Structures are given as structure tokens and as C-alpha cells.
Chain A
Amino acid sequence: AQSVTQPDIHITVSEGASLELRCNYSYGATPYLFWYVQSPGQGLQLLLKYFSGDTLVQGIKGFEAEFKRSQSSFNLRKPSVHWSDAAEYFCAVGDTNAGKSTFGDGTTLTVKP
């Protein structure tokens, strides 16, 4: 069965600093990988996704993620964090056979002024 691990429960960065959120997955075939963001009191919104092609994926709000098959990772990055980026971030892997996505436990991002 597929699984997703987000090793960092909580990350705090200063506004303007760079950000990297880690995601490791376990899946037998080529994975469908997603990053979603959940702002306080809201539903999840897609930041970016990967299935095939260029391993560096660009998303909304200045985010990008890099798929590394050898490391089973799909880390999310942003060069300069804004206060509005404070939110919960979820990595997910889509399973074509099971017809569902499995979500990681999330990483809470706090942005210091």
C-alpha cells in the first residue's frame, strides 16, 4: 500500500527566508504526487502536482517541488516566504489501482515577522 511521510510536524521560518518542506512516499509504480495547502479555517487547495515529465514542477504562489525517484522524495520549496504562506501543507500520493489518494500528516508552517 502507498504511504506518505512528512517528517516535519512544525516548521518556523522568518518572512523572506527560503523554505523547504519534506515529503517521502512509498509506492510501487510511478506515483502521482501532490502538494496541497490549507489556510486556517479553509479547505485544501492544490499547489502543484507531478506525474511524469520534468522532475521540477512549478506551482501557484511561487512554490516548486522536485521529484527524486532515487530518494522517493517530493520536497516543496519556496525561495522567499511571505507571511500569508503560514498554513498547513499536505503531501499526497495518488494510487491508480486503489482509486484514492493518501495524504501525509501535514506540516504546519509558521512565518515570523
Chain B
Amino acid sequence: DTAVSQTPKYLVTQMGNDKSIKCEQNLGHDTMYWYKQDSKKFLKIMFSYNNKELIINETVPNRFSPKSPDKAHLNLHINSLELGDSAVYFCASSRRTATDTQYFGPGTRLTVL
């Protein structure tokens, strides 16, 4: 039973394309997150949703748009991909807030050529 799953695991695309990453959690958690991990392994939060409501929106380009159709799903859509978007994107969830343990998905490695 996978707690937090992401698809796809790998994504290779050309500059300027639009792509989406999907995330699902079966833990019954209220809060979900998107993180970006760069090549130096620095981990930065991008967005957080609580019960489908956006609660954290860090300084992220408008080309990134999260969508939460229900509290078990949080998808990330990226428009007009740029070279600098290449990274590993992690989805995570927690029971309520970030003071609870976060459960991470396996990551999606995005490569923009």
C-alpha cells in the first residue's frame, strides 16, 4: 500500500512545453505539499493545501499552478517549461499542519532540454 504516490517518476521534455505531475495520498491526511529539490539537494516548499484550500504559496513563478480536486489529490501543472525547472519534485502530506510528520512521495525527476 503506497501512502503517497506520484506520477510520472521521470519526465523529460523540451523547453516551452506544458506538463503535469500528479500526486495522491491514501493516508486520510488533510494537508498536502509540493517541494522542489534542486541539484544540490536543497529542499524548498512551493505550495501547501489544506482540505483543498491553498494555504502556502511561496515565491514561485506563475507558470506553476497547483490544483487539488479533493483532499487526497494535489496536482502540479507547469506551463512554458524552462531549463531552470529541471529538478526533483516531491509531493508530501501530513495529518493537519507541518508540525505533524510529513510523508513524502518517491519524487518526480523533471528534465527540461
Contact = CB atoms under 8 A, between A and B. Distances in A.
Contacts of B39: none
Interface stretch (A63-71, A74-82, A87-95): A87-95
B55 interface: yes
Contact of A49 (B40, B48, B56, B101): B101
Interface residues of B, number: 26
Interface of B: 4, 31, 33, 40-45, 48, 50, 55-56, 90, 92, 97-107
A99 B50 CA distance: 10
Contacts of B101: 34, 46, 49
Nearest to A43: B104
Contacts of B56: 98-100
Interface residues of A, number: 25
Contacts of A108: 41
A88 B104 CA distance: 14
Interface string A18-57: 0000000000000010101010011111100101000000
B95 to A, nearest CB: 12
B104 to A, nearest CB: 3
- For the complex of A and B, 7 pairs with smallest distance between CB atoms: A43-B104, A94-B99, A101-B98, A32-B99, A44-B104, A100-B98, A103-B43
Contacts of A36: 102, 104
A94 B48 CA distance: 14
Interface of A: 32, 34, 36, 38, 41-46, 49, 51, 88, 90, 94-96, 98-101, 103, 105-106, 108
Contacts of B98: 94-95, 98-101
B45 A42 contact: no
20 contacts: A36-B104, A41-B106, A42-B106, A43-B90, A43-B105, A44-B43, A44-B90, A44-B102, A51-B99, A88-B41, A94-B97, A94-B98, A95-B99, A96-B99, A98-B56, A99-B97, A101-B45, A103-B44, A106-B42, A108-B41
